[in-house]
Amino acid sequence: MSEENGEVAMNNIERIMEALPDETFVKWDGLDAAIIGVDLKSLRLIYSVDKIYTELQKQGMTMEEAVEWYDFNVDGAYIGEKTPIHCNELF
């Protein structure tokens, strides 16, 4: 992901917070650049799984480590009704 794309992704959370200032969102630490949207019905953030892997690799993990870390720490986590949604971008 280029620096420009990282800035666009960072703006996603800023735009969401600006559009929905009275809402509280659960975010994964250090993964704001992987946010691709918000579900307007449940008001949960939506993260791209591929972008999560990219961000973890930027933090020094190999792809294998990133997948394992995601599987163990994020994918199965439930932290309440606002637990983020994880999306595989297939298209």
Q: What is the dihedral of CA 20, 24, 30, 35, to 10 degrees?
A: -40
Q: Is the pLDDT of residue 2 over 70?
A: no
Token digits of residue 73: 């720490």
Report pLDDT digits (tens) over 49-68: 999 999 999 999 999 999 99
Residues pairing with 38 in the sheet: 45
> What whole-number distance in Å separates Cα of residue 44 and Cα of residue 38?
6
Integer-rounded Cα Rg, in Å, for the chain is 13
3-state secondary structure 62-75: CHHHHHHHHHHHHH
74 within 8 A of 83, measured Cβ to Cβ:
no
In this prediction, residues 8-22 reach a mean pLDDT of 83
pTM exceeding 0.85: no
Q: Is the pLDDT of residue 25 over 50?
A: yes
**Residue type for 27, please?**
K
* Res 90: pLDDT: 80
